[in-house]
Structure 1
Amino acid sequence: MQMKSHISKVSQATRKWLQPYNQSLKKAIDKTVEEGLFSFEDIKFQIRTLKQKVDSGQIEEWAKRAELSEIKNSVGQKVLCLHAGNLPLVGFQDALGTILSGADYYGKLSKKDPYLLSGFLKMMDEAHLDNQIQYSTELADFKDLQADKVLFAGSEESVDPVKEKLFKLNAVNDNTEFVIRTAKFSIAYLDNEEPDTLRDMIEAVFRYGGKGCRSVAVIVSPFTLSKVKCHFTDYVEEFWLNNPQLKKPKENLVYQFAFNKAIERDQAWLDDFLVQETDDFPDQEFVLNWVVGDHDKVKELKSRFGNSVQTVYRTGESIDGIKTEFLSNAQTPDLWWEPDGIGVIDSLLR
Structure 2
Amino acid sequence: MAPDRNTIAAFVKLGKYLTDFCDKCYSNDPEVDQNLKEIIAQAGHHNGWFTEDNILFSLKQWGDLLTEQNITAWLSNYSFNKQINPKTVGIVMAGNIPLVGFHDFLCVLLSGNKVLVKLSSNDKVLLPYLCKYLMEQEPSLAEKIEFVEGKLENFDAVIATGSNNTSRYFEYYFGNKPNIIRKNRNSVAVLTGNESEEELKALGEDIFRYYGLGCRNVSKIYVPKNYNFDSLFHALFHYKDIIHQHKYANNYDYNKAVYLMSQFKILDNGFLVLKEDDSLTSPISALFYSFYDDESSLREKLQEMEGQIQCVVSSKAKENEVNFGDTQKPSLNDYADGIDTMEFLLKL
Aligning the two structures, in what range does the TM-score lie when normalised by the shorter sequence?
0.7 to 0.9
Separation in structure 1 between the aligned mates of residue 93 and residue 270 of structure 2, nearest angstrom: 31
Separation in structure 1 between the aligned mates of residue 297 and residue 83 of structure 2, nearest angstrom: 42
**Is residue 129 from structure 1 mapped to residue 126 from structure 2 by the alignment?**
no
Which stretches in structure 2 are left out of the alignment for 5+ residues? 22-31
Could you tell me how far 1:151 is from its partner in structure 2? Answer: 0.6
Which stretches in structure 1 are left out of the alignment for 5+ residues? none
Separation in structure 1 between the aligned mates of residue 175 and residue 181 of structure 2, nearest angstrom: 16
Could you tell me how far 1:24 is from its partner in structure 2? Answer: 3.1
3-state SS in 2 of match to 1:329: coil
Q: Any residues of structure 2 matched to 1:244-283 within 5 Å, and which?
A: 245=245, 247-248=247-248, 249=251, 253-258=255-260, 262=263, 265=265, 267-282=266-281
Preserved CA contact (<8 Å) 1:275 1:287: yes
Correspondence for 1:62: 74
Preserved CA contact (<8 Å) 2:198 2:235: no
Q: Any residues of structure 2 matched to 1:32-111 within 5 Å, and which?
A: 32-35=43-46, 36-55=48-67, 57-67=69-79, 69=80, 71=81, 76-111=86-121
Q: TM-score, normalized by length of structure 1?
A: 0.83
Separation in structure 2 between the aligned mates of residue 5 and residue 55 of structure 1, nearest angstrom: 13
Separation in structure 1 between the aligned mates of residue 337 and residue 346 of structure 2, nearest angstrom: 17
Correspondence for 1:213: 215
Preserved CA contact (<8 Å) 1:185 1:215: yes
Preserved CA contact (<8 Å) 1:273 1:286: yes
Separation in structure 2 between the aligned mates of residue 193 and residue 59 of structure 1, nearest angstrom: 34
Preserved CA contact (<8 Å) 2:276 2:289: yes
Separation in structure 1 between the aligned mates of residue 37 and residue 225 of structure 2, nearest angstrom: 44
Query: Residues 317 and 17 of structure 1: is their aligned pair in 2 closer, same or farther, counting only changes over 3 Å?
Result: closer
Could you tell me how far 1:77 is from its partner in structure 2? Answer: 0.9
Correspondence for 1:185: 186
Q: 2:322 aligns with which of 307, 310, 325?
A: 325
Separation in structure 2 between the aligned mates of residue 207 and residue 29 of structure 1, nearest angstrom: 17
Q: TM-score, normalized by length of structure 2?
A: 0.83
Preserved CA contact (<8 Å) 2:200 2:236: no
3-state SS in 1 of match to 2:331: coil
Instruction: Return the letter of the residue paired with 2:78.
Output: A
Correspondence for 2:338: 341
Cα deviation, 1:191-233, whole Å, max 9, x if unaligned, reads 32302211221111111111111111111122645x123x323
Correspondence for 1:236: 236
Count of aligned pairs: 329
Correspondence for 1:313: 313
Paired-residue identity, %: 24
Instruction: Return the letter of the residue paired with 1:335.
Output: L
Query: Residues 242 and 155 of structure 1: is their aligned pair in 2 closer, same or farther, counting only changes over 3 Å?
Result: closer
Q: 1:149 aligns with which of 149, 157, 170?
A: 157
Could you tell me how far 1:340 is from its partner in structure 2? Answer: 0.8
Correspondence for 2:302: 302
Preserved CA contact (<8 Å) 2:187 2:312: yes
Separation in structure 1 between the aligned mates of residue 91 and residue 99 of structure 2, nearest angstrom: 13
Cα deviation, 1:274-321, whole Å, max 9, x if unaligned, reads 2113333435343211222242353354256452211212212637xx
Correspondence for 2:288: 289
Query: Residues 51 and 12 of structure 1: is their aligned pair in 2 closer, same or farther, counting only changes over 3 Å?
Result: closer
Cα deviation, 1:17-37, whole Å, max 9, x if unaligned, reads 414144432221121223424
Separation in structure 2 between the aligned mates of residue 237 and residue 30 of structure 1, nearest angstrom: 28
Separation in structure 2 between the aligned mates of residue 326 and residue 284 of structure 1, nearest angstrom: 23
